[in-house]
């Protein structure tokens, strides 16, 4: 693997160009930015919105954190169970049904920006919004790879175990075994279309095969 430092600004420019080049027709694109919370995948997804819009691409932002299962399922084995965090928290069915499947060719493009509020443990009651043809869905979250989600481009934000532990707040360190399991079992670096090393999110580096 070759690891090449890149500025955050250049990274966003490169990704926006790569996304824009993916479709030459009216196809809607589904792009995922995957990474641990400490890698801040939401920040990279947010940063891509304006450059894509400037390229004439309508954009919708969705966070996997808005598609969690109810507390009765998430906390069935306790509030700090790493295996449940890895396996059970994400409501993959709702994410497929309400966001990804409507963007398939021939779909109506109507998506739900959020589904479940983990704080109130109730439906967010969000209204449906439309992603027009040639639009781009930017999805961020953790453990998104290896789930057979229909995505046109996947970006994984990789961190070494030491960097992840250093940047994870003390109250969230119970999640570290889940991220290690994801790294070992799913190997997101191998699955992602593009991997970015973010030992320090302010100083990213592209990871490319030699």
Residue 70 reports pLDDT greater than 80: yes
> 111 CB contacts (<8 Å, ≥6 apart)?
60, 62, 98, 99, 102, 103, 128, 129, 130, 131, 137
Residue 148 reports pLDDT greater than 70: yes
- Among candidate residues 129, 70, 121, the one with its CA nearest the CA of residue 98: 129
Average pLDDT, the chain: 96
What are the counts of helices (DSSP H) followed by strands (DSSP E) for the chain? Answer: 8, 11
Give the model's pLDDT for residue 208.
Answer: 84
Give the model's pLDDT for residue 128.
Answer: 97
Residue 23 reports pLDDT greater than 80: no
Q: Exposed, middle or buried by CB within 10 Å (0-12, 13-18, 19+), for 170? A: exposed
- Tokens representing residue 54 in the block: 């400037």
Residue 92 reports pLDDT greater than 70: yes
Residue 12 reports pLDDT greater than 80: yes
At 160-169, the pLDDT tens digits run 999 999 999 9
Give the model's pLDDT for residue 24.
Answer: 67
Residue 105 reports pLDDT greater than 80: yes
78: left (phi over 0), alpha (psi -120 to 50) or beta: left
Give the model's pLDDT for residue 26.
Answer: 85
DSSP3 helix / strand / coil % (the chain, rounded to 5) = 40, 20, 40
At 131-145, the pLDDT tens digits run 999 999 999 999 999
How would you label 114-132 residue by residue, b for 16+ Cβ within 10 Å and e otherwise? bbbebeeeeeeeeeeeebe
pLDDT, average across residues 80-109: 97
- Chain-centre distance for alpha carbon 132: 21
End-to-end CA distance of the chain: 5
Name which of 67-71, 79-83, 94-98, 206-210 the model is least confident about: 206-210
């Amino acid at each position: 693997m070759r690891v090449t430092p890149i500025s955050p600004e250049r990274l966003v420019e490169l990704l926006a160009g790569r996304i824009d080049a993916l479709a030459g027709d009216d196809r809607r694109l589904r792009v995922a930015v995957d990474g641990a919370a400490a890698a801040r995948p939401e920040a990279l997804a947010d940063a891509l919105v304006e450059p894509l819009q400037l390229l004439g691409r309508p954009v919708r932002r969705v966070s996997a954190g808005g598609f969690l299962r109810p507390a009765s399922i998430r906390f069935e084995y306790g509030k700090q169970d790493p295996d449940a965090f890895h396996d059970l928290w994400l409501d993959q069915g709702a994410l497929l049904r309400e966001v990804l499947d409507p963007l398939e060719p021939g779909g109506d493009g109507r998506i739900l920006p959020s589904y479940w509020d983990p704080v109130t443990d109730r439906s967010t009651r969000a209204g449906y919004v439309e992603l027009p043809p040639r639009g781009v869905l930017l999805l961020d979250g953790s453990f998104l790879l290896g789930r057979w989600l229909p995505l046109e481009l996947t970006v994984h934000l990789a961190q070494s175990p030491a960097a992840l532990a250093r940047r994870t707040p003390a109250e969230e360190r119970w999640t570290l075994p889940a991220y290690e399991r994801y790294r070992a079992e799913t190997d997101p670096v191998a699955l992602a279309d593009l991997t970015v090393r973010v030992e320090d999110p302010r100083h990213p580096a592209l990871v490319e095969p030699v």
